[in-house]
Amino acid sequence: MRRILLAILLLALPVSAQEIAIKKGIVTDSLKVSDSLQESYSIYLPTTFQSSRTWPVLFIFDGEGRGKSATHLFRAAAEEQGYILISSNNISSENDLKTNLEIADRLLQATVPRFPINMKMISSAGSNEGGKVASAIPLLYKDIHGVIAVGNHWINLDLLDEKRDFSFIGIVGDEQFTSAGMNYTAQILSHLKFPSRVYTYEGNDEWPEMRLIASAVGSLTLDAMKNKLRPIDPQLVDDLYSLDLALANKMISNQDLVGAMLFLELLEEKYDGFKDLNEIEEKQKQLKRSRNYDLQERERAEVNEKELRLIDDFIYYLGEDIRTANFENLGWWNYQKIQLDSLVRKGGEQAKMAKRLEGLIGELSRAYRDELKETRASLEKKLLANMIQTIFDPKNYAAYKEIITLSAQDDDFGTALFYLEEMLKHGYKNKDGLYNIEGTLGLKLTPEYNQLIEKYLGSSRFYDN
């Protein structure tokens, strides 16, 4: 149905950008998707924009709906490479994927006929929850040119149509647990003849630096040139190549030698047919002659082997503990968090591994929480999944609230009060939210509940000191 609706909309004459007072070369925010919806978007038109021809477009989905900020991250790339940017203000990590996709669907339906868009060069980009949205777009619409998924993605390989390929560009931080899944998906897509690459950046930020974003957009641009969707522009190819070599040189100067080698291997494929690859190959030879490169490569291999063992253990023990509602092992999980935190403080590859593992356990426990919420699982299993979630994701306030709800239902006010205080210790500030937690009518009237709120937030609703 969505495809039919989009096809009908694409027959409409595009509305000139000037008719809705959008200025070229600046980010325009808070444009309404429609008069009947409280949804909006940001847009950027390059300074060279003319409504007399069609343009590539990149739809951007920030995981927390920060459309304007996300548009600014892509602005330089869009200006240099000639893209319209359209960025949603309404994607949220609190929504499920279906809800976020419906928001994205409404945005595409509203804006595609509004601007002079090249229908064979519609691409999507997103971070975290928005990365899932961006990577799911090709499953909804045909003729999507490419996807840039940052930090996370969602692709149902069973639903892919090999006759309608798209370019998949993954970008993932080396401290993000999603890196293994991102690389696995890219390998599968490459095997299916989908152009696929994965960029890696240091850390765990929601978005990488703008130069890496520009390089990722450049991958879409070069793929379009290879497929004759846009003319080959030698000057633009040279500029993109210079940008990428500068990124490689920065990695080398920062002694990220294994990362530099992986990036150079990506560049070999990216510029094949566009540039003489001798310079890239020479840099690879220099790295291979470096003793530091050998040491880093060996360390990374050892860490990866250790990480795989720990992943197997954590997946097994987490499943068993939740299945049996084994509260006695909460101390063991706390100990694992302490051990991983100690590795984080040491730095290096082990620290990155520890952060990935903490993220993995947090995500697995969240998945168990969501699954148990939809079933008739016992209260104890639901409690344990939420408790483990708070150990590895101490600012996941939804998990604390769920514990408070479940404990109140079980008349266990002591546990509810303990996790209320833990939530407040970890920075929760919404006083009204504490009086709207489901199933806590009796609890929230107690002096103890209100005293804790007053202690951390200054005042309470039902307690007068």
Bridge partner list, 196: 168
Joined tokens for residue 405? 């709800």
Single out the residue of 25, 23, 27 nearest to residue 40, CA to CA. 27
How far apart, in whole angstroms, are the C-alpha atoms of residue 393 and residue 46? 40
Burial of 202 (0-12, 13-18, 19+ CB in 10 A): middle
> How does residue 18 score in pLDDT terms, banded at 50, 70 and 90?
very low
Chain segment 21-76, per-residue pLDDT in tens = 789 999 999 999 998 889 999 999 999 999 999 999 999 999 999 999 999 999 99
Pairing of the two strands 27-32 and 84-88: unpaired
Homologous superfamily of the 2-231 domain (CATH): Alpha/Beta hydrolase fold, catalytic domain (3.40.50.1820)
What gap in Å lies between CA 42 and CA 33, rounded to an integer? 10
Domain boundaries, the chain: 2-231, 301-393, 399-465
pLDDT at 154: 94
Q: Which residues contact 225 (CB under 8 A, 6 or more apart)?
A: 231, 232, 233, 237, 274
Average pLDDT over residues 231-256: 97
pTM of the model: 0.87
* Ranges of H-type helices in 115-191: 129-140, 179-191
At 149-200, the pLDDT tens digits run 999 999 988 888 776 789 999 999 999 999 999 999 999 999 999 999 999 9
The dihedral over CA atoms of 308, 314, 316, 321, expressed in degrees to the nearest 10, equals 180
Radius of gyration in angstroms for the set of CA atoms belonging to the chain, rounded to a whole number: 25
pLDDT category at 1 given cuts 50, 70, 90 is very low
Query: Which has more confidence, 370 or 420?
Result: 420
Q: How far apart are CA 384 and CA 326, in angstroms?
A: 8
